[in-house]
């Protein structure tokens, strides 16, 4: 498949999800709304939010105010662990849907697995109900280990379409990624730019120079060439545009192999930085 800004990966239920999206953690108020408008103007068609971000209302307003048709935009939001359970999960979804102002959400995720297996599985049952009712087009999880993914799969019901995790050349989630690929679960990467912490890495900078690209563009291109959906977060117009300019070149197999070697062993699917994403 040729990767362009309009490219979409097909999820395990046939729904097509854009390969590039805008992350909106900490992008609240007018700043967050404006970031979404800039992203849509730049060609993004995936916007990722969550109840805990406190910006679902602004995301919905920006989408309605844009010139882009709602059916062309893919909206993701998430269920926070304190709302996990069957009835509470359904109620939380309805609250998110009202804040967004749309009848249907494209992807609804359990934001974190939490520590209560029973509540987690009841929450998944709620997501299956939402999917069956047509209130969302796809369901998935975020920050899940292989063991927690197995718990859902072993029930024999709907498999997650997506597992959203922290993902970058320095945190490659090899075990989780391999398991998801083997089960038809698409990996989606948040913090693909390491929140700016590793943009000065000498290897990244050297490869970026050879392609006449920025370090951030190399990191994003590396991820989508590995089949991972990326949702870089920014509230700056120039950076939003820069992050979208990753489709006019291809990283060679040799350079991909060099980037693959940057992986630093990780203990779990989420970022070591203490923040919801």
**Where in the sequence numbering do the catalytic residues fall?**
53
Phi, psi dihedral angles at 9 (to 5 degrees): -90, 140
Rg from Cα positions in the chain: 18
Residues 6 or more apart whose Cβ sits within 8 Å of residue 163: 140, 141, 142, 144, 149, 176, 180, 185, 186, 187, 188, 269
Strands 136-142 and 162-166: parallel
Q: What tokens appear for 250 in the block?
A: 């291809």
Quick one: which H or E segment has residue 241?
A: helix 237-244
């Amino acid at each position: 498949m040729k990767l362009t800004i309009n490219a979409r990966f097909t999820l395990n239920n046939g729904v097509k999800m854009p390969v590039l999206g805008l992350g909106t953690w900490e992008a609240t108020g007018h700043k967050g709304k404006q970031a979404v408008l800039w992203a849509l103007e730049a060609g993004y068609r995936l916007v990722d939010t969550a109840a805990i971000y406190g910006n679902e209302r602004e995301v919905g307003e920006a989408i309605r105010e844009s010139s882009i048709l709602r059916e062309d935009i893919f909206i993701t939001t998430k269920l926070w662990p304190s709302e996990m359970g069957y009835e509470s999960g359904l109620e939380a979804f309805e609250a998110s849907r009202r804040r967004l102002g749309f009848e249907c959400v494209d992807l609804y995720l359990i934001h974190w697995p939490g520590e209560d297996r029973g509540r987690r599985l009841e929450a998944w049952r709620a997501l299956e109900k939402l999917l069956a009712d047509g209130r969302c087009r796809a369901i998935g999880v975020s920050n899940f280990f292989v063991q927690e993914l197995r718990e859902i799969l072993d029930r024999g019901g709907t498999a997650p379409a997506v597992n959203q995790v922290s993902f970058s050349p320095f945190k490659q989630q090899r075990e989780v990624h391999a398991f998801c690929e083997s089960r038809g679960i698409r990996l989606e990467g948040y913090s693909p730019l390491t929140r700016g912490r590793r943009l000065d890495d000498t290897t990244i900078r050297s490869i970026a120079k050879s392609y006449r690209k920025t370090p951030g563009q190399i990191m994003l291109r590396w991820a989508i060439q590995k089949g991972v959906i990326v949702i870089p977060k920014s509230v700056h117009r120039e950076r939003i545009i820069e992050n979208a300019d990753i489709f006019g070149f291809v990283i060679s197999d040799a350079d991909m192999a060099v980037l693959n070697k940057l992986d630093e062993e990780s203990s779990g699917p989420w970022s070591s930085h203490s923040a919801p994403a």
